[in-house]
Chains A and B, each alone.
Chain A
Amino acid sequence: MTRLAIVINQDRCIGCQTCANACKMENNVPMGMLWNRVITVGSDVIDGAVGTYPNLTREYLPMACQHCDNPACQAVCPVGATYTDEAGRVLINYDICIGCRICMAACPYNARVFNWEEPVRDPDFNYGHKDVPVRPRGVTEKCTLCKERTDEDREPMCVTCCPTKARSFGDLDNPSSAVSALIREKSAYQLLPERGTSPKTRYFK
């Protein structure tokens, strides 16, 4: 078995949003939505600090689909449009999706976005990887772990573009992979573990 995953070093993350933009450009994500975003935890403004001066903290949390081992979105999809593929990626079959959005309600991470309107792109053509499917209006979409790149044994674009190398990519089922080593050695954690979704994406500080 293969369980592809991203492990993120939050201490290295500088909140530059490069991963968010790299993702958007690679995956032809329309205007008004992103598959990947960097959250400034607990703050109302991007790059804000939490606490009272001079006792301040700032924490960045890159956030996209967590590719759960027990994906709530997959269980609730009435037409089985959301599925886990042989590499452990949680993916959406856009031809089947009926746009009921129960998956968006089921995802504890708000990772999914919906094509409320006819997708608008700026520039006005399809950009990114040539094999990325173009999503129609009325379907949900989200991070695919750059399926088209990872199928070619390349890293997801957010991992490649991160200027501080905060992101690592690999196979959780291979004990000698870099991601497995980080989880072992850095006790990398899962987001919202109490929801029981068991994300493959891990974080450490």
Chain B
Amino acid sequence: MTSKKADTVARAATPMPNSSKKAIPAIVILAIITLVGIGAWVYQLANGLAVTGMNNGTSWGLYITCFMFFVGLSAGGLIVASSAAVFGVRQYKQVAKPAVLLSTVCIIAAAAFVLIDLGGVQRVFNLILHPNLTSPLMWDVLVIAIYLIINIVYLVLMGRRSNVASDRALAITSRLALPVAILVHSVTAWIFGLQIAKVGWHSAILAPLFVTSALDSGLALLLIVLVVLNATKLFATSKKLLSSLAGLLAVCIAVDAFMVGCEILTMAYPSAPEEAAVLTLLFTGSSAPLFWGEIVLGLAVPFLLLVFSRLRESVGVIVVASALVVVGVFLKRAWLLLTSFVTFNVAGAPGVAYGRSGLDGTDIWSLIGTYAPTWVEVTVTLGVIALAALIYVLLAPRLFAGEDGHLELASAGAPAFATPLEPALPSADASTAAALGTAAKTT
């Protein structure tokens, strides 16, 4: 395992352009974290999910939180990239490559979290042998597989030399990518939103809410990545484009906040006991730090930072606001998942058996669902995140560098795209033209 990893690092290092040699320390650190994460996963495979904090009361935890979170991060990036192509927003097309690569690594991470969460990963082939098409989880498996393929096709097509045929293929791909990106997050929402057992989940607004917070967090992460790529001279994005994307992010945050408000009001107004129990946990109970963390850090503060055009001209403000949005959406995933496990529908002693041997007498019982992630879960999670970052760092120079003069322009200190309307990626531009049936040739 170690030698293979080292191999990858060595192979990746050789053809890299000058500027990305600086990435080697980052690659080594990410590779080490990934290996430690894999080690923790092997430990979990050897000892079972008993090494996690999950139990019969709270049967999903950090892994499924991260699954939701990374599906969202992924959908956000691709929605921006493909809607730019579909609706002909030229300036956003410039960031299509880093956005689609981000989307690809995030969906790989999301899929990894589902596999890691399985109790019987060795029987995972039953998803193919015995598919049950009424299961939202089965829908998600299908749509994530399609989505991953579309992402990879998109990346490959963008890397090809532009001609009529490849432009046409790219135009078709982007038109497929947009609905699938929206679907992939809706289906993830339906894993929860269709469960009549949990009043905190069972809601029609869950799918649109998930799509909006996917746009939020995906766009925010894309902005952070673009700033980092700028700083490392891998891919240049103009300040103007960054602040334009940040403006879009502010709109997404507002829509997200509106939907959260709609859901909370609808739950609260009838004062029905079950809904009230969930809301009490959110407002003042064990989920309150997560909930108010999202409202304040994830919605209010970044919105106020980004809504004024003067403020969002500062790259620093954009990065801070984006980081807050990413953290906020993670907190939202956590409260959404965990709060609904706390109260049992049929409550009363002894409660639900925790699910571990070695506990004495009444200790096997819990009256409410409790959960705290263990070091194994945290380590595995960090490992998956490091793996996703590693793939990005390794692929980014190969996909972006030595094309369209990005590097040269960036290292010369000139803004890469002085005017956002100036065609920067000829291939991407032509895709719109081709799609419109004009079959334009790029110069």
- A residues engaging B (CB < 8 A)? 30-34, 37, 39-48, 61, 63, 72, 75-81, 95-102, 104-110, 112-118, 120, 122, 136-139, 191-192, 195-197
Q: How far is the CA of A32 from the CA of B367 in the complex (A)?
A: 15
Q: How far is the CA of A132 from the CA of B248 in the complex (A)?
A: 59
A101 B130 Cβ-Cβ under 8 A: no
B60 A110 Cβ-Cβ under 8 A: no
A116 B356 Cβ-Cβ under 8 A: yes
Q: List 18 A-B pairs, Cβ < 8 Å.
A: A32-B353, A32-B357, A44-B367, A45-B349, A78-B127, A81-B126, A96-B123, A98-B123, A98-B124, A100-B118, A105-B60, A108-B197, A112-B56, A116-B49, A120-B358, A138-B48, A191-B346, A195-B197
A196 B196 Cβ-Cβ under 8 A: yes
Other-chain contact of A75, B60, B114, B135 (Cβ < 8 Å)? B135
B364 A48 Cβ-Cβ under 8 A: no
Give the distance to chain A from B123, nearest Cβ to Cβ, in Å: 5
Q: Which of B129, B197, B198 has the most CB of A within 10 A?
A: B197
B349 A117 Cβ-Cβ under 8 A: no
With CB as the reference atom, state the residue of chain A lying closest to B194: A76
B355 A116 Cβ-Cβ under 8 A: yes
Q: Which of B54, B118, B191, B357 has the most CB of A within 10 A?
A: B357
A138 B135 Cβ-Cβ under 8 A: no
B138 A78 Cβ-Cβ under 8 A: yes
B349 A78 Cβ-Cβ under 8 A: no
Considering only residues 111-157 of chain B, those with a C-beta below 8 Å from chain A are 114, 117-121, 123-124, 126-127, 129-132, 134-138, 141
A113 B130 Cβ-Cβ under 8 A: no
B55 A110 Cβ-Cβ under 8 A: no
B266 within 8 A of A: no
Given contacts A96-B130, A105-B341, A195-B196, 5 further A-B contacts (CB under 8 A): A43-B349, A45-B349, A46-B349, A72-B197, A99-B119
With CB as the reference atom, state the residue of chain B lying closest to A75: B134
Give the distance to chain A from B274, nearest Cβ to Cβ, in Å: 10
- B residues engaging A (CB < 8 A)? 47-50, 52, 54-57, 59-60, 114, 117-121, 123-124, 126-127, 129-132, 134-138, 141, 191-192, 194-198, 341, 344-359, 362, 364, 367
Q: How far is the CA of A120 from the CA of B344 in the complex (A)?
A: 26
With CB as the reference atom, state the residue of chain A lying closest to B123: A98
B348 A42 Cβ-Cβ under 8 A: yes
Q: How far is the CA of A166 from the CA of B349 in the complex (A)?
A: 20
B355 A114 Cβ-Cβ under 8 A: yes
B121 A79 Cβ-Cβ under 8 A: no
B345 partner residues in chain A, CB cutoff 8 A: 108-110, 192, 195
Count of inter-chain pairs, beta carbons less than 8 A: 182
Other-chain contact of B357, A30, A75, A114, A138 (Cβ < 8 Å)? A30
Q: How far is the CA of A99 from the CA of B114 in the complex (A)?
A: 11
Give the distance to chain B from A113, nearest Cβ to Cβ, in Å: 5
Q: How far is the CA of A62 from the CA of B350 in the complex (A)?
A: 11
Q: How far is the CA of A141 from the CA of B131 in the complex (A)?
A: 20
B131 A98 Cβ-Cβ under 8 A: no
A43 B56 Cβ-Cβ under 8 A: no
A110 B344 Cβ-Cβ under 8 A: yes
Given contacts A75-B134, A118-B48, A40 and B348 within 8 Å (CB-CB): yes
B121 partner residues in chain A, CB cutoff 8 A: 98-99
A31 partner residues in chain B, CB cutoff 8 A: 357-358
With CB as the reference atom, state the residue of chain A lying closest to B122: A138
Q: Which of A77, A80, A116 has the most CB of B within 10 A?
A: A116
Q: How far is the CA of A173 from the CA of B194 in the complex (A)?
A: 30
With CB as the reference atom, state the residue of chain B lying closest to A39: B348
Q: How far is the CA of A39 from the CA of B349 in the complex (A)?
A: 5
B56 partner residues in chain A, CB cutoff 8 A: 33, 104, 110, 112-114
B362 partner residues in chain A, CB cutoff 8 A: 46
Q: How far is the CA of A31 from the CA of B138 in the complex (A)?
A: 32
Q: How far is the CA of A40 from the CA of B351 in the complex (A)?
A: 9
Q: How far is the CA of A121 from the CA of B58 in the complex (A)?
A: 23
Q: How far is the CA of A41 from the CA of B367 in the complex (A)?
A: 11
Given contacts A98-B121, A101-B119, A114-B56, A79 and B132 within 8 Å (CB-CB): yes
A79 B49 Cβ-Cβ under 8 A: no
Q: How far is the CA of A80 from the CA of B128 in the complex (A)?
A: 11
Give the distance to chain B from A46, nearest Cβ to Cβ, in Å: 5
Given contacts A61-B346, A78-B137, A120-B358, A105 and B123 within 8 Å (CB-CB): no
With CB as the reference atom, state the residue of chain B lying closest to A93: B130
Give the distance to chain B from A14, nearest Cβ to Cβ, in Å: 15
A110 partner residues in chain B, CB cutoff 8 A: 56-57, 344-346, 352
Q: How far is the CA of A105 from the CA of B351 in the complex (A)?
A: 16
Other-chain contact of B355, A44, A46, A113 (Cβ < 8 Å)? A113
B131 A105 Cβ-Cβ under 8 A: no
With CB as the reference atom, state the residue of chain B lying closest to A34: B353
A120 partner residues in chain B, CB cutoff 8 A: 357-358
Q: How far is the CA of A39 from the CA of B321 in the complex (A)?
A: 48
With CB as the reference atom, state the residue of chain A lying closest to B341: A105
A45 partner residues in chain B, CB cutoff 8 A: 349
Q: How far is the CA of A79 from the CA of B135 in the complex (A)?
A: 8
Given contacts A78-B135, A96-B126, A117 and B196 within 8 Å (CB-CB): no
